[in-house]
Amino acid sequence: MDTRILGRVDYAPTYAAMQAFTTARTVDTPDELWICEHPPVFTQGLAGQADHVLVPGDIPVVATNRGGQVTYHGPGQVVAYPLIDLKRAGYFVKEYVYRVEEAVIKTLAHFGVTGHRVAGAPGIYVRLDDPTSHALLPQRPQKSTAGTATPDFTGLGKIAALGIKVSRNCTYHGVALNVAMNLEPYSRINPCGYAGLKTVDLSTIGVSVDWADAAHVLSQKLVTYLAP
């Protein structure tokens, strides 16, 4: 997989470039991983409801074709866009999501933080009272609750958001890991459609790491965990 570090790039042209890449690719096109950060922007997924955007103010809202609801991108966040042919990779969408989340969990572990999954709510979360705790969450995904759980965010903050699109077995959009951001814009939306869901970044839970280091670790983990 070819990794491209794009730096800070506007959201709309990056989204258009992902679509163009995916439309033009053939069975022989190498997979790519794009790593970037965006100027402040709210992006609305296909399931997005306008009333989850509370007071956007001066931050633009862009409609997209990814799954999920509204989220925020801004400086200090590592955004990763894996452009992968799942048919060639040999796994399905559900496993793809699991692998992306696992790469984030391993990235957080590298910085001494324990990431958690929550049943019914894609993305990665941390314990607000003890971000290093390895204790299993009662609200973690379990076979007995598959597909039935109402997400329970008690005591948790969301540190990474996931939103994907699969077209002709090829992925685009991806995952965003909060490193050292201005988190205020999250108060202007219901993040991922959940009112009052607390959003955190590495800096607010006491981990000081610069964007380039976090981007390097996340890209390495994604390349490893998304391998065929």
Residue range 181-203, pLDDT digits in tens? 999 999 999 998 898 899 999 99
- HEC states along 175-196? EEEECCCCCHHHHHECHHHCCC
**Residues near 178 by beta carbon (within 8 Å), at least 6 away in sequence:** 76, 77, 159, 160, 199, 200, 201, 202
On whether the CB atoms of residues 175 and 217 are closer than 8 A, the answer is: no
Residue range 82-133, pLDDT digits in tens? 999 999 999 999 999 999 999 999 999 999 999 999 999 999 999 999 999 9
Q: How far apart are CA 119 and CA 81, in angstroms?
A: 24
Q: Tell the residue number behind the tokens 């219901």, with chain if given.
A: 190
Token code pair at residue 141 = 């995904």
Cα Rg for the chain, rounded, in angstroms?
Answer: 16
CATH architecture of the domain 2-112+157-225 equals: 2-Layer Sandwich (3.30)
Q: How far apart are CA 201 and CA 176, in angstroms?
A: 11
Residue range 206-222, pLDDT digits in tens? 999 999 999 999 999 99
Residue range 12-60, pLDDT digits in tens? 999 999 999 999 999 999 999 999 999 999 999 998 888 999 999 999 9
Query: Measured between alpha carbons, how far is residue 222 from residues 10, 99, 172, 198, 216 in Å?
Result: 23, 8, 14, 25, 10
Residue 192 annotated to the active site:
yes
Question: Which of these is catalytic: 192, 197, 222, 226?
Answer: 192
Reported pTM: 0.96
Of 198, 184, 220, 191, the C-alpha closest to 78 is 220
| 102 or 68, greater pLDDT | 102
The separation between CA 117 and the C-alpha centre of its own chain, rounded to angstroms, equals: 12
Q: What confidence tier does 166 reach under pLDDT thresholds 50, 70, 90?
A: very high
